[in-house]
Amino acid sequence: MNAEVSAPRRKMKNLLIVDLEATCFRRGEEPPDFASELIEVGAVGFDTAERRNTGELRLFVKPVQFPALSPYCTELTGIQQADVDAGLPLDAALGRLAALYSPADMVFASWGFYDQRQIERETIRRGIPYPFGKDHISLKHNHASFYGRKHPLGMDAALAYHHLPLLGRHHRALDDARTIAAIAARMLDDGWTHTRLMP
């Protein structure tokens, strides 16, 4: 009797959901040669099968090129000058973030492409190793595609779409990462999948 044996189904990779805050000025008020620098990193490890957070990280990063926060940036984020003055150097902060990342069973994800590109820009500018593999998921664009939306929604609009609450304060890195994880859980519950699979 030749029973056909199906191959075991491979699991989706889990997500490392990252959100960043960076130095900023009101539009038109930027100093000459201004380039944004990370000031806060938030990350949530998210188990896609069990829909649960498996670990979290929140840390401040000390900017060096434009170390003084603008009043606009402080008002937007609630981050104080003393927070960033006591923050980690960028390489140490990214090392802490990389410690949460397991490329064999996890993929870097964020709401849109900004966070991935900001890390990439800063690592290139500062000559620091990029902490992730080449793969990245924009949950914002996956959300639009999955729900058949013509244009991607911002995080606030996606929360309203799903009748979900904001978890904490918007423009605080860990609070936003937790909120994005809640949206990802709803997407998974509704049948969304991604194509990155564990070995």
Give per-residue pLDDT as tens, 167-199: 999 999 999 999 999 999 999 999 999 999 988
Average pLDDT over residues 79-100: 97
- pLDDT reading at 128 higher than 50: yes
| pLDDT given for residue 9 in this prediction | 67
- pLDDT reading at 34 higher than 80: yes
| pLDDT given for residue 8 in this prediction | 55
CATH of the domain spanning 14-189? 3.30.420.10
**Average pLDDT, whole number, for the chain?**
94
| pLDDT given for residue 5 in this prediction | 45
Dihedral of the alpha carbons of 108, 109, 112, 114, in degrees to the nearest 10: -30
Closest residue by Cα to residue 136 from 17, 24, 33, 3: 17
| pLDDT given for residue 10 in this prediction | 75
pTM: 0.93
Q: How many residues does the chain have?
A: 199
Average pLDDT over residues 47-57: 96
Are the C-beta atoms of 135 and 129 separated by less than 8 Å? no
